[in-house]
Amino acid sequence: MLAPGDVGQRAWIEARPWRVAAARQETSDTVTLDLTPSGAFAFLPGQFNMLSVPGVGEVPISISGDPADDGHVLHTIRDVGAVTRALCALRAGQRAGVRGPYGTDWPLAAAAGGDLLIIAGGIGLPPLRPALYQALAQRDRFGRVILLYGARTPDDLLFPAELARWRARSDVDVEVTVDTADRNWRGNVGVVPNLVDRVLFDPRAATAFVVGPEIMMRFTVRALLAAGVADDRVYLSMERNMQCAVALCGHCQLGPFLICRDGPVFRYRRLDRWLGIREL
Amino acid sequence: MPPIPEPVLRGHPFFAGLDPSHLDLLARHASGVAFTDGAFLFREGQPAETFFLINGGSVALEVAAPGRGPVVIQTIGDGEVAGFSWLLEPHRWEFDGRAIGAVAAVRVDGAGLRAKCTADPLLGYELMRRFARLATRRLQATRMQILDVYGHAGTR
Amino acid sequence: MPGYVLRRDALGQLFDALRRRGFRLVGPVIRDGAICYDDIESPADLPAGWTDEQEGATYRLRRRDDDALFGYNVGPQSWKKYLFPPSARLLPPEEAPAEPLAFIGVRACELNAIAIQDRVFTGGRHPDPQYAARRDGAFIVAVNCGQAGGTCFCVSMAAGPRATSGFDLALTEMVAERYFLIEAGTERGAEIVSELGCRPASAEQAATAEAITERTAEAMGRTMPALDLRDLLYDNLDHPEWDDVAARCLACGNCTMVCPTCFCFSVEDVSGLAGEDPERHRSWDSCFTMDHSYLHGGQVRTSTRSRYRQWMTHKLATWEDQFGTSGCVGCGRCITWCPVGIDITEEVAAIAADS
C-alpha cells in the first residue's frame, strides 16, 4: 500500500523550501525572486514551477532565468492576488515552497536553421527570456534572432538594462514598443503586432515564440501569418486557472488540452480551432 | 539631410504596384524635407494638405490636454506613412506630429494630388485603397491600445 | 468465469469473511429517502425489498413485492466518496486509512467509473497517493443489475449491465430461488468462494443468471445516440442547443456531485489567524462554479451556457483526448438528480438532429 513519504514516491503536492537569494523589484508591481534550489534542479525554457507560501497558497510561475545557471532559479512575479503579493513580499533569507518544473518547453531545436522571433507582451517576457538566453548561447544555430516586446508604458518595461545590452549587440534585433507614453519616451508607441512588419526576416524558415495577453497573441499571430510565417512554426504559451500542475485537478482545461501537461507551450496550428471559441 | 523624393517613392512598399505614370505624378508633387529633434511636422487642427513618407527617424503622434501634458499615442517610423487626413474632409490634422530625433521625410502635396485624383479616378482609387488600409491598421492598433490588454491584473 | 452458488442466508458469512480479513465494509443503505453508501455490518443493513423509481428530476423509493437485497439501481452517491473523499488534507500529509475498504454492491457502470477515475488519478506521470492508498487493496463485490433504471443507459456507453472485470466477486441475485450466482474475478475472491464452501453452479443456473442481465440490458431507460460523440461535439461548439439548455440549467452543479467520474478538485491553504499551523486542503470542485475558471481577475466561463458546454463536452468528448476513454458510464445520475431534468442523451440527440 502506498503511503505518503514512501521513498521515491513523493506526493505530487510536496514542495521543497527554497531560499530566496535575492528579491529584485522590477516595476511597481513586479518582482524577480532569485531562488536557490534545495537539490539538483534543471529546467527547459518555457517551463514553470509551482511556488507557494504556506498558509497563503500556491501559484504557477514561469521560470525566467538562464537554464545554464543552475544555482539561481529566477521567477518574475506580478502582484495580482494574495499569493503573488505574498511572494513579491519575500526578502533574501526567507523561503518559498517550490515544486516543479512542469510543462512543455519552447522548441529551440526545431527553430534552428532559420530566423527566430521572440515576441512578448507585458509579463509575457519572463517566460521567453530563458529561450532568448539559450538561443544566444547557441547563436550560430539560428539566422536572425529578433526580440519584439511591448508593455503598457515605459515604466512597465521589464529588464530595461538587459534590453539595452541586447539592443547593443549586432547579432540581435530588438524592437520595443509601449501602448502609451509621455515625451520622455523616445521609442516606439504602438502595438506589438505592428512591430512584425517593421523587422526584416525570412518568413519561409522563421519560427516565432509568442507570449502575452490572449488578445495580443491572437493579433500577433495574425500579423505573423500575414507576413508568411507557417502556422506550424508559431508557438504560444497559454494560461488558465491552474491548481495542481499535474493533470489531476481538472482546472487548466482548454478544450481537449490540459495546459499543465500538454502546454503551456503549444504549436499554434494545434490551438487554432479552439482559440476562436468564446468562453471555452 | 532631406532625401531625394523620386527613389524613395519608387522603392516604397506603400506605393508598390502603382502605375509608373502615377508614380511620376507623385514625384512631381513631392519634395524632400528634414526636421530637427522636437520639431513639429504638423499640428492638430491645422489644415492637412500633405502627407509624409518617413525616411529616417521617428514621428510621435501626440495629443495634449490641460493638466495631462502631451501623450504619445503612436509613433511612425522609418518606412511608414504619416497622414491620411489630406484625403478626406475636413482635411485637418487630428494630432500633433513631432520629430523624435532628426527626421528625414518625403513630403507630398496632398492638395495638388486631390485635384489630380478628381481628374483621374483610377489614381484616386489606388491612393484611397492604400490609405484606407493604413487607416484600418491604425484603427486596429488603437483598438488594442484601448483594450489596455496589459493593464488588467494578472495579464501575462 | 465459472459460477458458484451462494445461498442467500450465507451472504452474512461473506461479510464475516471480509471482516476477518480486516476490511471495512461499505454498501447501500436507506437514508434520507434514498439509497446511499455507508458502513454496513450485515445483510440486514441492506435495503431489502426496496427499489427506486428514477426519471429526469425524479427519484422515489418504492416497496417491491419481494425482498430482493439489491433490487434497485444507483443512488445519488458513488464510490468516489470513499476513493476520492469530498474533502481531504494534502499537507501535512494525512495518515493512510487504517482499514482497507470492501465495497458491497458495485454495479457494472460503477466498475467502469472506478476504472475511469483510476486512469485519471493513478494513470499519469504524477499519481495521487491519497487515491492510490484507498484504491490499492480495496475489495470489490459487484452486483449484476436485475433491473434497469428509468435513466440508465450503460448499454449504449458499453459500460454494463454485466460486470465483466474489475471486481473480486460478482453476484447475480436470484430472488425467488434464494441464492446468488457468485463469480470470482481475482484469486482472493476465489479464496473466499472456496472458504465459504460454495458449490459450482449448474449450466442451467448459469444460464438463468445470464438471462437476468440480458433482460436488464433490454430494459434501459435511455439511449445515448450511437455517434462519434467527440467529433459531433467538437464540430458543434456554437450550436444553438447550448443556448436552449442554458435557459434551463441552474448551474447548481448537482450533476457533478452525483457523477461517479467527475474529479475536479480545488486546493486551498488555511492557517491560524496569526499564520501558524498552515495546511493545504483539497475539496471537490465543480466546473459549474464561477470560480472554476477564474483567471486574470475574472472568469473565462462566465455564462451558464459556457459552463454547461464545458461539463458535457468534457464528459463525452475532451475526456477522450485527455485520458483515452469516455468520461461517461451511462449511470443516469445526472439526469435523475438534475432539478430541471436536463438529459445528457437528449442534448446529444438535439445537437445531432441538426448539426
ipTM value for the complex: 0.94
Parallel, antiparallel, or unpaired: how do β-strands B81-82 and C139-144 relate?
Answer: unpaired
Q: What domains are there in chain B, each with its CATH number?
A: 5-147 (2.60.120.10)
Residues C21 and C88 in one domain: yes
CA distance readout (Å), A63 to A176, B128, C220, C292: 22, 48, 53, 25
Residue ending a domain, among C218, C243, C262, is C218
Residue-wise pLDDT tens digits, B104-151? 999 999 999 999 999 999 999 999 999 999 999 899 899 999 889 897
pLDDT at residue C355, as a whole number: 76
Residues C204 and C244 in one domain: no
What is the spatial distance between Cα B109 and Cα A130, in angstroms, rounded to a whole number?
49
Residue-wise pLDDT tens digits, C42-94? 999 999 999 999 999 999 999 999 999 999 999 999 999 999 999 999 999 99
Residues of chain A with C-beta less than 8 angstroms from the C-beta of C236: none
A191/B145 CB distance under 8 A: yes
B156 touches chain A (CB under 8 A): yes
Q: Which residue of A has its CA nearest to B153?
A: A80
pLDDT at residue A2, as a whole number: 37
Q: Say if C224 falls within a structural domain.
A: no
Confidence label for A1 from pLDDT (cuts 50, 70 and 90): very low
A179/B150 CB distance under 8 A: yes
Residue ending a domain, among C218, C251, C286, is C218
Residue C101 belongs to domain spanning:
3-218
Tell which wins on pLDDT, C13 or B154.
C13
pLDDT at residue B11, as a whole number: 87
For domain A16-102, the CATH architecture is Beta Barrel (2.40)
Interface test with A, best of B73, B150, B152 (most A CBs within 10 A): B150
* B residues 14-43 lying closer than 8 A (beta carbon) to A: none
For domain A108-237, the CATH architecture is 3-Layer(aba) Sandwich (3.40)
A181 touches chain B (CB under 8 A): yes
Residues C131 and C49 in one domain: yes
Q: Say if C26 falls within a structural domain.
A: yes
Residues C205 and C273 in one domain: no
Angle, CA C15 vertex, CA C9 and CA C16 arms, to 5°: 100
Residues C240 and C260 in one domain: yes
A122/B61 CB distance under 8 A: no
**Which residues fall within 8 angstroms of residue C51, CB to CB, at 6 or more apart?**
C61, C62, C63, C64, C68, C71, C72, C147
Residues C91 and C206 in one domain: yes
Does residue A9 surpass a pLDDT of 70? no
**If you average pLDDT over residues A244-257, what whole number do you get?**
98
Handedness of CA C136, C140, C145, C151 (dihedral sign): negative
A147-168 burial, b at 16+ Cβ within 10 Å, e below that, comes to: bbbbbbbbebbbbeeebeebee
Nearest Cα residue to C156 out of C224, C55, C229: C224
Under a CB-based contact definition with an 8 Å cutoff, are residues A173 and A145 in contact?
A: yes
- Ordered by start, the domain boundaries in chain A are 16-102, 108-237
pLDDT at residue B13, as a whole number: 85
Q: Return the beta strands (E) in A16-172 as ranges.
A: 16-27, 30-36, 48-53, 57-62, 73-78, 95-102, 116-121, 145-151
- Give how many domains chain C has, as a whole number: 2
Residues of chain A with C-beta less than 8 angstroms from the C-beta of C130: 4, 11
Q: Say if C188 falls within a structural domain.
A: yes
Residues C77 and C123 in one domain: yes
Q: How far is B78 from chain A (nearest CA, A)?
A: 9
Q: How far is A6 from chain B (nearest CA, A)?
A: 37
Q: Say if C36 falls within a structural domain.
A: yes
Residue-wise pLDDT tens digits, C330-346? 999 999 999 999 999 99
What is the spatial distance between Cα A128 and Cα A118, in angstroms, rounded to a whole number?
7
Residue ending a domain, among C196, C218, C240, is C218
What is the spatial distance between Cα C282 and Cα C4, in angstroms, rounded to a whole number?
43
Q: Kindly report which listed range (B3-7, C4-8, C174-178, C315-319) carries the lowest average pLDDT score.
A: B3-7
